[in-house]
Amino acid sequence: MLRHITTACIFAGVLLIPQANAQCPAGTTNPLQAFAGTWTFESDGFNFPPTLFLASAGRITASIGADRAGNPLGVLVITQSSSIDGSPTRLETDAGRFAVFADCSGGTLTFNVSSFPVQLDFFFAGPNSIVFVGTRNGHIISGTLTRVSADQVSPTCPANPLATLFGTWAFEWDGFNFPPTQFLATAGRFTATQGADRAGNPIGVLSITQSSSVDGSPTRLETDAGRYALNADCSGGTLTLNVSSRPIQFDFFFTNPTSIQLISTNNSNIVEGSATRVP
């Protein structure tokens, strides 16, 4: 969470940098094409007044449509999980709009988070990476977008869907819990394997080693167990991790076979993070 607050401050300087060196991708005749495709995103921050804690993560698919006059129009289809003041909404779908600056250095996004309108300015860090900041009155929000690899845009589930997550992953997340207000941060590793429930049915099992801090009280190198499941289309799923015996459930979204975005779906949590597959 703190890293995003720092990033938001940096944006003020970014806006003053001339964009003359930016250029649209070769062969692009319409700047909207620079953003077309599927992206995972994560964001967090605040809104006030009143003060609300916000976090969200999900997928955005951007395509080029047309307005009533036939002019090109950037169209967004969004699937996301979010938390507003600790009240989670899981896997909602919505529509939005996008525009790209003439020099393809960035652009704007407009969509909803749980019927909460959000407007963002974004800046390309490369063809597959974007940083963004909220530009709506009352918002202090920032985050990132990462282009989804071609094999994950419409993933094919293996014969055993649980195998999609098999292996060891390094993860981090941070945020808040309230009431009472607690500041949370964790990093560690989990190894995903297959187990069986009491009826012998396959289940996803996590073996976790992590260090964490809850309101500044650290716990180092604790070990625990968890669970996971895959969505029907294998584009993501759910994780249940423990932090100092406190279970936290996440929705996750694949960016590529080695990277996922996380968002907590527990009541009272405003937590987001990521995990990377360990080679």
Number of domains in the chain: 2
Are 31 and 109 part of one and the same domain?
Answer: yes
Go through the chain and tell me how many residues it has: 279
Mark whether 201 and 133 lie in a shared domain: no
- The answer to whether residue 136 sits within a structural domain is yes
Q: What is the DSSP string of 217-257?
A: EEEEEEEEEEEEEE-TTSSEEEEEEEETTEEEEEEEEEEET
Same domain, yes or no: 12 and 140: yes
Helix (H, G, I), strand (E, B) or coil at 34: helix
Contacts of 112 (CB under 8 A, 6+ apart): 94, 96, 118
Could you tell me the CATH number of the domain that includes residue 232? 2.40.128.20
Terminal Cα-to-Cα distance of the chain (whole angstroms): 27
Give the domain range for residue 171: 161-277
In a domain? residue 156: no
Contacts of 202 (CB under 8 A, 6+ apart): 160, 162, 194, 195, 196
pLDDT, tens digit (0-9, with 9 covering 90-100), for 110-158: 998 777 788 999 999 999 999 999 999 888 999 999 999 999 999 999 9
Q: Which of 147, 172, 196 is the last residue before a domain boundary?
A: 147
Can you give the pTM of this predicted structure? 0.86
* pLDDT tens track for 9-50: 333 333 333 334 567 888 778 999 999 999 999 999 998 877
Average pLDDT value for the chain: 89
